[in-house]
Amino acid sequence: MTLDHLTRQYSERLGVLTAAQLQAALDRFDLGELLDATSASGGVNGQNVVLTSTSGQYILRGLPLYDWQLAKERFFAELIHERTDVPVPLPYLIEESPDLFGWSYAIMPRLPGLPLADPAVRNNLDESERLAIAGALGRTLAALHEITWPEWGEYYLATNTITPIETSFRDWTLARVEREIDDCVSLPVLTPADLLWCRELVQQNADSLDIPVQPTLVHHDYKEGNVVVQQTGDSWDVSGLFDLVECYFGDPEEDFVRCVSGYQQERSDSPLSKAFLHAYSDIKPLRPNYRERFAIYMLRDCLLIWAFGHRDGRNWFRASQSFRAFAEPHVLSDPFP
């Protein structure tokens, strides 16, 4: 059987990949004979290709965003596997050499389940199923947040572990918010009125960052698009979690914002946010002043998205739309049960 039809462009980022290259990538790790290859659903970076071989289904993840991306994702996948029952893609096999594609790549098992990144999949679920899945995401996030660390910190490639942040959590968090503000100012995509609103909101809620918390694994891109789910009887469960490039150790509440904002984009009063947070807080009760911290974390995430959506000609937002008009409904919402 000829596989010439598999020589094509799978994403703009990866360009044209040949069937021979894809087979060579499988051969590198003794993963069988190539049968099929398709573009992966979801994701904004176009790094993934789904490979089907005689030994199973795999994800080829190529052209890393950073020199540390693949090593960091493997570090966190192994940590999650060691300390929880949350399913992650392992083994996470990395080829550092650019000889085959012109860039390094990783291959990992494709996790079983429905990909919620695919709108067609989501649209085929009724409201009761979506609510049950939102609850499953809440329970899985609570399980993920069993992973703690002695200090706040981020992954460092040279040591292949976490480098502690030598400052208070409050100062670290406020500095990260300020970096996102500076990024938006430099583009420039913040008006003076937007800037004043951001600074006032942070000042009003900053004291909430002084409430003690154990440094905890933060996925930071935890949302429907980065999981697959399966139904067993009347129960739904997360059958796979992936895209671990943004992980670090911080406040677990930081992981609420992507799921909540995704649900809010579908419907401002969506019951999915409350189902998600209710399932989570039933397992891990929220600390005092969680609403004030949520406002800061959501503001930072809106700033990130605002800058990303204006960079490199993406044009995600109307020219007449202000940052405050975009962010305020999310930042000042109360999704908690």
pLDDT tens digits, 2-50: 788 999 999 999 999 999 999 999 999 999 999 999 998 776 689 999 9
**pTM to 2 decimals?**
0.95
Residues 15-35: b if buried by 16+ CB within 10 A, e if exposed: eebebebbbebbeeeebbebe
> Which residues are 227's β-sheet partners?
241
End-to-end CA distance of the chain: 56
pLDDT tens digits, 102-125: 999 999 999 999 999 999 999 999
Write out the two tokens for 39.
């573009």
| 3-class state of residue 161 by DSSP | strand
Q: Using CA atoms, how far apart are residues 180 and 169, in angstroms rounded to an integer?
A: 17
Instruction: Pick left, alpha or beta for residue 111 (phi over 0 → left; psi -120 to 50 → alpha; otherwise beta).
Output: beta
pLDDT at 44 (0 to 100) = 66
CA-CA-CA-CA torsion sign (242, 245, 248, 254): negative
pLDDT at 142 (0 to 100) = 98
Helix 169-186, helix 192-205: angle, nearest 10: 170
Segments of the chain scoring below 70 in pLDDT: 1, 43-44
All structural domains of the chain: 4-109 (3.30.200.20), 114-331 (3.90.1200.10)
pLDDT at 133 (0 to 100) = 98
Question: How many residues in total does the chain contain?
Answer: 337
CA-CA-CA-CA torsion sign (24, 28, 30, 31): negative
Q: Using CA atoms, how far apart are residues 211 and 334, in angstroms rounded to an integer?
A: 20
Write out the two tokens for 139.
């329970």
pLDDT at 45 (0 to 100) = 81
